[in-house]
Amino acid sequence: MFTFHFPFLEFTEFRCRRALLPCLLLGGVAQAAAPDPLGPLEGVRQFMATFTPDPAERSLLAYARRERLDWAATQNLFAAQVHDAPNHYLEWRGHSGLDPAGQTFTVVRAATFLRSGQALLVLTREWCAAGRCESRTTFAWQGPGGWKSVPEGSVIPLIRDADFAAGSVPACLRGVTLGVQYVPARQGTALHALPLVPAAAQQRCESAGVNMTTATRPLRLNWTPSVGKFRR
């Protein structure tokens, strides 16, 4: 079910010789067949073609775009890659010491959710450096009509800060605007929304003895093909 890709030329050549099957090498990554036009791999490729990273984004995808790397070189930045084609899911992990801030670890998660000959791509980039993590999520429709980014609000239901509270909102979080990180499920058609607490508020909560893992909760959003949106 899962395909693990190790972007190293030696491993790829060994696998081709053992299998006695023709392999197409693209920058050291073996591509056995054309990607699914509705799959996440094709979605990420099309995303990279027009991606203009925010100056604050330090993910490896942002680095690849700023350095104008081609598609094969971009994939080779990630030492561990999981492609789960039947479940329309991929996950890439890699790290780099090229950032002035020091070592940066990136996790890319992408999934496509099908609807009538097209698919909604959910692409999340999470990067961590110096003990602090940030993330960005892109939503886009892909299919025969092309690839088009869409606003979060067009496919995600309204989520209020209070929705993340596991009980009563602790004093250290009152009036605090939370961020949201979206994580697609490895299997199925769910999307998890995780609360992101600003660093200053998190420090206040820790000083007050508030355990954030019990004070907040993730939300599960379910893909609804009939309307092309997620619902709670």
DSSP class per residue in 176-192 = PPPEEEEEE-SSSSEEE
Of 169, 131, 141, residue with least CA distance to 38? 141
Query: In this structure, what token pair is assigned to residue 6?
Result: 């190790």
pLDDT per residue as tens digits for the range 74-125: 999 999 999 999 999 999 999 987 666 678 999 999 999 999 999 999 999 9
Q: Is 79 left (phi over 0), alpha (psi -120 to 50) or beta?
A: alpha
User: 96 and 85 in contact (C-beta within 8 Å)?
Assistant: no
Domain spans in the chain, listed from the N-terminal domain onward? 1-150, 152-232
**pTM for this prediction:** 0.82
Averages of pLDDT over each 10 residues, the chain, 232 residues: 37 32 36 78 96 94 95 96 96 84 90 96 94 93 94 97 93 94 96 94 93 93 97 96
DSSP state of 164: G
